Structure 1
Amino acid sequence: MINVFQPSLGEEELAAVREVFAGNWIGRGPRVAAFETAFADHLGVGREHVTSMNSCTEATFTALRLAGVGPGDDVVLPSVSFVGAANAVAAHGARPVFCDVDPRTLNPAVADVARAATPATRAVVVLHYGGYPGEVAGIARWCADRGIPLVEDAANAPASTVDGRACGLFGDFGVWSFDHGKIATAVDGGMFYARDPELVRRARKLAYLGLEEVSGHERAARAADRWWEVEVTSFSRRSVLNDVLAAIGAVQLRRLPEFLARRAEVVDRYDAALAGVPGVVTPPALPPGHRTSYYFYWVQFDSGVRDAVAADLYRAGVYTTFRYPPLHRVPRYGSAAVLPGAERAAEHTLNLPLHQGLSDEDVDRVVRELRAALERHVDPMG
């Protein structure tokens, strides 16, 4: 089976884990700190602006909490988005208000966000679909003009930029994922960014049970009496990263440029092989100044054959998917929105395999099976 996502892990990662084991400290420690510093350097910000967490979803929960989201508030987010973002809104007692997306880029425009906004809008969350930045700069300006915090879900976009500025830094908060399916993985884990370093300090406490950030060892070294006692500043969960995962993540972050280079080659091969194929449309070109992370490669079909094509591909050993099913259709969120762009995208879009482990032969096989499926299901007479 050719997988739609697949990690690239090897001897470097194993060596990093062995070092952690040899040091006899596997919890949150020096390797977490080093990983946070490396990621801050990757973004071009100081380490005081970032902190790690055990998942991107937890980072989203934290961002909304620090944005002051609560009961009676509305939070605007694209319907084509990860379920964790909507859950984070609803878990705070707020109402997810879903906005439409462009049916080709699957990202919201400024006008989509503006149409969905209400007088009760407390925050906006945007996703960079497949690593494409979208209109994030314009949405950030729209939010800033109205004093509405913007949370960027940059899980798809660890290396995406607009005019050299990293996605995740346009809003008040940014969150990233290092789970098993991401370009650079730590097996699991996430990263949190805030423009205000004070909010990062608060986030660190929230991520560790609301405790002050002084360990027992540090208290003992200062000859503090009863260093084992704790000071609780908030009723919070435990959602920290550990040194084992951080060691893997640090290696993967160093390898990110090579991963991106190979993914770009795969995308170019898909583009060339699928150009002009009747009945299928490849991703749109990036606007000037935009750089993608090549997380998704999506094709769209002119007619209603997507599901049949996906089934044929699966039977042929090619796993595909559609990320992300529109959230306004999920009954639990209670939305009555009619969003034609998201709905069209949901019926016509398919994510093909895209990861750095694909060989040229794998890509050729995907294309060959896709063409065969189209020939079976698309009427040549229209």
Structure 2
Amino acid sequence: MINAFQPMLGDDELAAVAEVFRSNWIGKGPRVRAFEDAFAAHLGVGPDQVMTLNSCTEATFLAMELAGLGAGDDVVLPAVSFVGAANAVAAHGARPVFCDVDPRTLNPSASDVEAALTPATRAVLVLHYAGYPGDIAAIAELCRARGLLLIEDAACAVASRVAERACGTFGDLGVWSFDHGKIAVTVDGGMLYARDPELLRRGRKRAYFGLEQFSGFDHAKVTDTRWWEFEVGSFSRRSIMNDVTAAIGCVQLRRLPEFLRRRREIVERYDTELAGLPGLLLPPAPPPGHRTSHYMYWVQMEEHVRDEVARDLYRRGVYATFRYPPLHRVPIYGSDARLPGAEHAADRTLCLPLHQGLDDTDVDLIVETVRTSVPRRSASAAASAPASAVRGA
């Protein structure tokens, strides 16, 4: 099966893990610090502004806590977003309020966000869909003007930028994912950015049981009495990364330019070979000054055609999918919003495989299947439509 998402791991990652094993220290240690430092340099921020966690979802949950969001607060987020984002809002007692998205880019505009604001809105949590930056500069300006916190879900946007500024750093807080399906992976893992380093100092304690001293071993170096006793500042949990996963992350971050080059090559193939195919829309080009991570490549077609094309691909050993089903349609969140842009996109969008592990033969098969399936399924749908629908009545 050709997967929609897939990591690329090899001998360098194995060597890094072996080095950690030989050190006899596999918990949180120097490799975690090295990974944080390298990622901070990649973003162009201070090393005291980022911290690792065991997942992006945990980073989002911690962001809610550090922002002080809770009961009585509304948080606006795009309907086309990951369930972990809405869960983080709702789990802290705040109310997720879903805004619409552009049906072609699947990112919200500043006007989409503004239309969803309520008197109780305290924060905006915006996703960079598929790694495309979207209207983030205007959304950040809107949040500053309204006195709202801005949290960026940059899980798909590890290398995305607008005018050389890294996505995830436009707001007050930002989160990234390094899970098994992302561009750079640590198997599982996440990163949290805060504009205010003091928030990160608080965050580090919250990520390790609320302990004032992180390590008794280290504490013994600066005290002579009972360094093993606990001093707890908050009722928190354990959410830290370890040196095994961080060592993988350091290698993956060094290989990131290589991964991005291959992804661009595949996108260029898709753009060239699927261009002009009747009934198929390709992703719009990013605006000038926007750099995407090319995390997903999405195509759009009529709803019933989309479903049949996905089946045709699957029959030929290609797994295509749609990310992400609109959250305002998920009953647990209690939304009655009508969001035509998100609904239109969700019914017509299909994400084709896009990862650095695809070889040219894989891409040939995907392209050939799409080029064959879309016209055939479109003709079949037109032939079975009522006469009034064909006439456009």
Q: Which residue of 2 aligns with 1:190?
A: 190
Q: CA deviation at 1:294?
A: 0.3
Q: Is the 8 A contact 2:6 2:355 kept in 1?
A: yes
304-313 or 246-255: which moved more?
304-313
Q: Which residue of 1 aligns with 2:352?
A: 352
CA–CA distance in structure 2, aligned partners of residues 265 and 110 of structure 1:
31
CA–CA distance in structure 1, aligned partners of residues 145 and 209 of structure 2:
35
Q: Which residue of 1 aligns with 2:263?
A: 263
Q: Which residue of 2 aligns with 1:139?
A: 139
CA–CA distance in structure 2, aligned partners of residues 223 and 63 of structure 1:
33
TM-score by length of 2: 0.96
Q: CA deviation at 1:369?
A: 0.9
Please state whether the residue corresponding to 2:379 is helix, strand or coil. coil
CA–CA distance in structure 2, aligned partners of residues 324 and 289 of structure 1:
26
Q: CA deviation at 1:302?
A: 3.8
Q: Is the 8 A contact 2:298 2:351 kept in 1?
A: yes
Please state whether the residue corresponding to 1:253 is helix, strand or coil. helix
Q: Which residue of 1 aligns with 2:367?
A: 367
Q: Which residue of 1 aligns with 2:387?
A: none
Q: Which residue of 2 aligns with 1:151?
A: 151
Q: Among the aligned pairs, what percent are the same residue?
A: 70
Question: Deviations for 1:12-55, whole angstroms, at most 9, x for unmatched residues?
Answer: 00000000000011110110000000000000111000000000
Q: Which residue of 2 aligns with 1:77?
A: 77
Amino acid at match of 2:31: R
Structure 1 residues 1-382: aligned runs within 5 Å: 1-302=1-302, 304-379=304-379
Gaps of 5+ in 1: none
Amino acid at match of 2:349: T
Q: CA deviation at 1:222?
A: 2.2
CA–CA distance in structure 2, aligned partners of residues 219 and 131 of structure 1:
41
Amino acid at match of 2:82: F
Q: Is the 8 A contact 1:296 1:352 kept in 2?
A: yes
Amino acid at match of 1:360: D
Amino acid at match of 1:159: A
CA–CA distance in structure 2, aligned partners of residues 253 and 303 of structure 1:
38
CA–CA distance in structure 2, aligned partners of residues 214 and 364 of structure 1:
52
Q: CA deviation at 1:151?
A: 0.4
Amino acid at match of 1:149: L
Q: CA deviation at 1:303?
A: 5.3
Alpha carbon RMSD of aligned pairs, Å? 1.0
CA–CA distance in structure 2, aligned partners of residues 26 and 16 of structure 1:
12
Amino acid at match of 1:36: E
Question: Deviations for 1:76-112, whole angstroms, at most 9, x for unmatched residues?
Answer: 0000000000000000011100000000000000000
Please state whether the residue corresponding to 1:27 is helix, strand or coil. coil
Q: Is the 8 A contact 2:207 2:240 kept in 1?
A: yes
Amino acid at match of 1:228: W
CA–CA distance in structure 2, aligned partners of residues 236 and 283 of structure 1:
42
Q: Between Structure 1 and Structure 2, how many residues are aligned? A: 382
CA–CA distance in structure 2, aligned partners of residues 302 and 377 of structure 1:
10
Amino acid at match of 1:62: L
TM-score by length of 1: 0.98
Amino acid at match of 1:287: P
Q: Is the 8 A contact 1:132 1:291 kept in 2?
A: yes
CA–CA distance in structure 2, aligned partners of residues 148 and 236 of structure 1:
26
Question: Deviations for 1:235-266, whole angstroms, at most 9, x for unmatched residues?
Answer: 01110000000000110000000000000000
Q: Is the 8 A contact 1:279 1:303 kept in 2?
A: no
Q: Is the 8 A contact 1:263 1:354 kept in 2?
A: yes
Q: CA deviation at 1:212?
A: 1.5
Question: Deviations for 1:305-341, whole angstroms, at most 9, x for unmatched residues?
Answer: 1111111110111100000000000000000000000
Q: CA deviation at 1:376?
A: 2.8
Q: CA deviation at 1:223?
A: 3.9
Please state whether the residue corresponding to 1:175 is helix, strand or coil. strand
CA–CA distance in structure 2, aligned partners of residues 254 and 218 of structure 1:
30
Please state whether the residue corresponding to 2:102 is helix, strand or coil. coil
Amino acid at match of 1:184: A
Gaps of 5+ in 2: 383-389
Q: Is the 8 A contact 2:303 2:347 kept in 1?
A: no
Q: CA deviation at 1:214?
A: 3.9
CA–CA distance in structure 2, aligned partners of residues 344 and 215 of structure 1:
52
CA–CA distance in structure 2, aligned partners of residues 132 and 55 of structure 1:
21
CA–CA distance in structure 2, aligned partners of residues 36 and 325 of structure 1:
32
CA–CA distance in structure 1, aligned partners of residues 303 and 327 of structure 2:
23
Q: CA deviation at 1:171?
A: 0.3
CA–CA distance in structure 1, aligned partners of residues 56 and 303 of structure 2:
35
Q: CA deviation at 1:375?
A: 3.2
Please state whether the residue corresponding to 2:283 is helix, strand or coil. coil
Q: Is the 8 A contact 2:205 2:214 kept in 1?
A: no
CA–CA distance in structure 2, aligned partners of residues 350 and 14 of structure 1:
34
Amino acid at match of 1:164: E
Question: Deviations for 1:129-164, whole angstroms, at most 9, x for unmatched residues?
Answer: 001000001000100111110000000000000000
Q: Is the 8 A contact 2:57 2:85 kept in 1?
A: yes
